[in-house]
């Protein structure tokens, strides 16, 4: 480059941009000689807008918050120590969570109360009925007005065996557990006999459950009747079922993820995940993004609808040994 030449560097865009260099020869004409010398490449990230995610831990009972769809989490503290087992977002915006100690905590109001003497397994709000239902590991179901979550109906409804999940369908709340599937208003007569471990609402009145042999069952009438599909979901006890993108059903069993794209009609496809413990939490975020937590205090992310998984930054989260539950906040 001769004396008097002027060098111009232009970056046209921040993502996928061409970087051009133009050289203006001061001694010759006014034309610039331009050469493209490189192109930047974007590192894939979670699609905006971001979602807020909460995670509950053990042994300190910490609530961790992510405001970027689970890319990173920060510690928001603890109201009750111990193991966080489940979350529920109420229609008024309050966030409730259950504890293995039997405590029900209102995270938004920073209050707590122990309705149960055993581990709380599920919390559900029936908005139309104006009630909150809380299940525990010994089969009790507590009922509370949704404007006074610490005023419980006693004695609780007893299913008689462990309840793992509650789900509402067409105005009826069903319990899913070791004693079968029950309409909780008729606790002694199961809607479906058997032992069931996980449930998912697939939309349009369709529910799926896993039984204790890891076989999928389907209801096409909001939980009123059930039929086995005969398909195998996983190799060990299925603890979580979620509805992901494009109707895919994703399941967690032990340290494995499996999925179905045909409405549980055939055996699920298995996914290998390196470095994972036993899966203890699984949620769908948006697009093709899911998160899971495990019993080492680690959180993993998938951005391809559950087919591949990677650890997020900061594992094990806050040095905790267990991720008990995850929830996406509206």
Mark residue 205 as left, alpha or beta (left: phi above 0; alpha: psi -120 to 50; beta: remaining): left
Encode pLDDT of 154-172 as tens digits. 999 999 999 999 999 999 9
Encode pLDDT of 121-149 as tens digits. 999 999 999 999 999 999 999 999 998 99
How far separated are the first and last CA of the chain, in Å rounded? 59
Tokens representing 50? 């971001």
Contacts of 63 (CB under 8 A, 6+ apart): 54, 55, 56, 57, 75, 76, 77, 78, 79, 84, 97, 107
User: What is the reported pTM?
Assistant: 0.85
Encode pLDDT of 181-229 as tens digits. 999 999 999 999 999 999 999 999 999 999 999 999 999 999 999 999 9
Of the candidates 324, 327, 297, the one whose C-alpha atom is nearest the C-alpha of residue 312 is 297
All CATH 2.130.10.10 domain ranges of the chain, comma separated, are 79-194
Confidence of residue 32 (pLDDT cuts 50, 70, 90): very low
Please answer whether residues 309 and 298 qualify as being in contact, where contact means their C-beta atoms are separated by less than 8 angstroms.
no
pLDDT value at 263 more than 90:
yes
pLDDT value at 2 more than 70:
no
Q: Give the fold, CATH level 3, of 79-194.
A: Methylamine Dehydrogenase; Chain H (2.130.10)
What mean pLDDT is reported for the chain? 89
pLDDT value at 47 more than 70:
no
Look at the alpha carbons of 75, 81, 86, 92 in this order and tell me if their dihedral is positive or negative: negative
At 127 the pLDDT is: 93
């Amino acid at each position: 480059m001769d004396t008097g030449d002027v060098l111009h560097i232009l970056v046209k865009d921040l993502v996928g941009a061409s970087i051009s260099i133009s050289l203006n020869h001061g001694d010759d004409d006014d034309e610039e000689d331009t050469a493209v010398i490189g192109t930047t490449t974007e590192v894939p990230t979670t699609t905006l807008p971001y979602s807020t995610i909460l995670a509950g831990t053990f042994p300190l009972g910490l609530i961790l918050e992510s405001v970027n769809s689970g890319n990173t989490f920060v510690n928001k503290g603890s109201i009750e120590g111990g193991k966080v087992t489940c979350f529920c977002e109420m229609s008024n915006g309050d966030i409730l969570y259950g504890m293995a100690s039997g405590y029900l905590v209102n995270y938004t109001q920073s209050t707590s109360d122990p309705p149960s003497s055993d581990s709380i397994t599920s919390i559900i709000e029936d908005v139309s009925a104006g009630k909150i239902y809380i299940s525990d590991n010994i089969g009790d179901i507590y009922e509370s007005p949704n404007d006074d979550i610490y005023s419980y109906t006693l004695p609780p409804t007893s299913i008689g065996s462990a309840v793992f999940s509650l789900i509402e369908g067409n105005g009826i709340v069903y319990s899913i557990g070791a004693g079968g599937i029950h309409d909780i208003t008729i606790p002694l007569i199961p809607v479906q006999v058997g032992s069931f471990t996980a449930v998912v609402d697939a939309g349009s009145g369709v529910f799926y459950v896993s039984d204790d042999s890891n076989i999928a069952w389907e209801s096409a009438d909001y939980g009123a009747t059930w039929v086995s599909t005969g398909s195998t979901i996983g190799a060990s006890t299925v603890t979580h079922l979620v509805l992901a993108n494009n109707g895919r059903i994703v399941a967690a069993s032990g340290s494995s993820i499996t999925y179905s794209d045909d409405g549980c009609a055939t055996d699920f496809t298995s996914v290998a995940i390196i470095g994972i413990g036993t899966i203890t939490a699984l949620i769908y975020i948006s697009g093709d993004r899911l998160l899971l937590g495990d019993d080492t205090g680690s959180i993993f992310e998938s951005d391809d609808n559950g087919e591949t998984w990677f650890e997020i930054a900061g594992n094990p989260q806050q040095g905790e040994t267990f991720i008990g539950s995850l929830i996406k906040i509206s």
